[in-house]
A and B are shown apart, each in its own frame.
Chain A
Amino acid sequence: MLPHPIINDFVIRFANVNGTGSASANNMFAKAIFRMGIPVTPKNIFPSNIQGLPTWYEVRVNEKFYLGRREGIDIMLSVNPQSMLQDIKDVKPGGYFIYDNSKPLHKEYIREDIHYIGIPLTEITTKEYSDPRQRMLFKNIIYVGALSALIDMEMSVLQALVEEQFKGKEKLIAPNHHALDLGSQFIKNNYKYPLEFRLERRNLLQNKILFEGNAACALGAIYGGATVAAWYPITPSTSVVDAFSDYASELRVDEKTGANNYAIVQAEDELAAMGMVIGAMWNGARAFTATSGPGVSLMQEFLGLAYFAEIPAVLIDVQRTGPSTGMPTRTQQSDILISAYASHGDTKQVLLIPNAPDECFEFSALSFDLAEQLQTPVIILSDLDLGMNDHVSNPMKWNDRKYKRGKVLTKDQLDKIQRYGRYLDTDGDGIAYRTIPGTHPTKGSFFTRGSSRDEYAIYTEDGNAYKRNMDRLSKKWETIKTYVPKPELFQKENQSKFGMVFFGTSHYSALEAKDYLNADGISLDAMRIRSFPFTKEVVDFIESHEFIFVVEQNRDAQMRTLLINELEINPKKLIRILNYDGMPITAEHIKREIKQSLNVDHLQMAEMQHG
Chain B
Amino acid sequence: MTYQRPSFRHPELPLNELGYRKKDYEGSLSTLCAGCGHDSISAALIQACFELNIEPHKLAKLSGIGCSSKTPTYFLGNSHGFNSVHGRMPSVATGANLANRDLMYLGVSGDGDTASIGMGQFVHLIRRNLNITYIVMNNGCYGLTKGQDSATADKGSKSKAGSVNPFQNIDLAGLAIELGAGFVARSFSGDKLQLIPLIKAALAHPGFAFIDVISPCVTFNNNVGSTKSYDYVRHHIDATATFDFVPLAKEITTHYSAGSTQEVKMHDGSYLKFNKLQKDWDPTKKETAVHAMHKANEAGEILTGLIYINEDSKDLHQILNTNSRPLNQLTETDLCPGIHKLEEINKSLC
Contacts and interface: CB of A to CB of B under 8 A. Distances in A.
Contact of B335 (A227, A264, A275, A442): A227
A228 B99 contact: yes
Interface string B49-81: 000000111101010000000001100011111
A131 interface: no
Contacts of B81: 445-448
Contacts of A251: 337, 341
B107 to A, nearest CB: 11
A495 to B, nearest CB: 35
Nearest to B2: A458
Interface stretch (B34-42, B88-96, B146-154, B216-224): B88-96
A275 B95 CA distance: 7
Interface stretch (A151-159, A266-274, A423-431): A266-274
B342 interface: yes
Nearest to B61: A447
A100 B98 CA distance: 55
A301 interface: yes
A276 B91 contact: yes
Interface string A228-245: 101000000000000000
B80 A435 contact: yes
Contacts of B84: 275, 278, 305, 450
A400 B80 contact: no
Interface residues of B, number: 66
B322 A450 contact: no
Given A396-B342, A438-B102, A275 B2 contact: no
A441 B55 CA distance: 7
A280 B335 contact: no
B2 A268 contact: no
B337 A222 contact: yes
B1 interface: yes
Nearest to B329: A284
A275 B92 contact: yes
B338 interface: yes
A283 B60 contact: yes
Given A219-B345, A272-B121, A400-B338, A459 B2 contact: yes
B233 interface: no
Contact of B330 (A261, A436, A445): A261
Interface in A242-266: 251-252, 254, 257-265
B349 interface: yes
B176 to A, nearest CB: 16
Interface in B294-350: 316-317, 320-324, 326-328, 330-332, 334-339, 341-343, 345-346, 349-350
Interface size class of A (residues with CB under 8 A): 35 or more
A582 B26 CA distance: 58
Contacts of B78: 441-442, 445
A268 B98 CA distance: 16
Interface stretch (A80-88, A168-176, A204-212, A536-544): A204-212
A480 interface: no
B339 A276 contact: no
B330 A227 contact: yes
B83 A447 contact: yes
B82 interface: yes
Contacts of B335: 222, 225, 227, 252, 261
B252 interface: no
A441 B78 CA distance: 7
A223 B57 contact: no
Most buried by B among A211, A222, A268: A268
A219 B345 CA distance: 10
3 closest A-B pairs by beta carbon, nearest first, are A279-B95, A275-B91, A285-B99
Given A399-B339, A437-B60, 12 more contacts: A228-B327, A261-B335, A263-B322, A276-B98, A278-B92, A279-B93, A280-B328, A285-B326, A301-B85, A400-B338, A401-B332, A460-B2
Interface of A: 35, 205, 208-211, 219, 222-223, 225, 227-228, 230, 251-252, 254, 257-265, 267-269, 271-285, 287, 301-302, 305, 395-403, 435-442, 445-451, 454, 458-462
